[in-house]
Amino acid sequence: MNVTLIGYGSGNVASVRFALERLGARVRITDDPADVAEAERIILPGVGAAGYAMQRLQALDLIEPLRRFPRPLLGVCLGQQLLFDASAEDGGADLLGLIPGRVEAILPAPSRPSPHMGWSRLTIRRDDPLLDGVKDGDWAYFVHGYICPDGPATLAAADYGAPVPAVVNSANRWGCQFHPERSAALGARILKNFLELPA
């Protein structure tokens, strides 16, 4: 099981790497476009602001290799958001444009502080190999202040006063808004499923 982690200066690379290695994966961390193009499968992690993350990807000439990547690709947390068209964060930012829609801020409310931080239950919308063995009501760990649009790409959602697209998919691209590397058995199952997707 070979997997390439994009190390672009805006991701939780170490914790994702350790979680993958616990599953027996051989992990390569890179910011080299040639490595990305040749990878068997890719994980795009992310923490922080969308605009800064896209600046880093642009500076490293990684945007087009990610857009053209034909094998399994998984975005984690901010990495999921980067798969969409655009984000409202920091006055607006163009993203990778791999899934239609605009990422918006979570609107805080008394029962819904922002950021969304902590454990939430998942509701499965439709079957997918990434969710093999995942059940309605399983818990995942979230930390995010922006939310992806809910639409045809949503495979599973959490409830945070409104649906939170927790797992998304379009073609060979998947995303997890939560942190699988911090989500105990559920997260390990999802990472294992990703490693076993046909490349």
- Check which CATH number belongs to the domain holding 7 and give it: 3.40.50.880
What spatial distance separates the first Cα and last Cα of the chain, rounded to whole Å?
A: 10
Neighbour order of strands in the sheet with 99-105: 93-94, 84-87, 99-105, 146-147
- Write out 97-147 in H/E/C secondary structure: CCEEEEEEECCCECCECCCEEEEEEEEECCCCHHHCCCCCCCEEEEEECEE
- Residues near 169 by beta carbon (within 8 Å), at least 6 away in sequence: 128, 130, 153, 155, 175
Q: What is the pLDDT of residue 179?
A: 96
Both structure tokens of 166: 């927790």
Q: What is the pLDDT of residue 186?
A: 97
**Radius of gyration, CA atoms only, the chain:** 15
Q: What is the pLDDT of residue 57?
A: 97
**Domain total in the chain:** 1
Both structure tokens of 196: 């076993």
Q: What is the pLDDT of residue 113?
A: 87
Provide the CA 20 distance to its chain's centre, in angstroms: 15
d(CA 9, CA 145): 20
Q: What is the pLDDT of residue 10?
A: 83
Q: What is the pLDDT of residue 107?
A: 86
Q: What is the pLDDT of residue 11?
A: 78
Q: What is the pLDDT of residue 108?
A: 79
Q: What is the pLDDT of residue 56?
A: 96
Q: Catalytic amino acids?
A: 77, 179, 181
The residue behind tokens 């992806």 is 148
Domain assignment of residue 81, given as a range: 2-196
d(CA 69, CA 34): 11
Q: How many helices (H) does the chain have, and how many strands (E)?
A: 6, 13
For 48, the 3-state DSSP assignment is coil
User: pLDDT 10s per residue in the chain (199 long)?
Assistant: 899 999 998 878 999 999 999 999 999 999 999 999 999 999 999 988 999 999 999 999 999 999 999 999 999 999 999 999 999 998 999 999 999 999 999 987 887 888 999 999 999 999 999 999 999 999 999 999 999 999 999 999 999 988 999 999 999 999 999 999 999 999 999 999 999 999 8
Q: What is the pLDDT of residue 90?
A: 84
Q: What is the pLDDT of residue 109?
A: 81
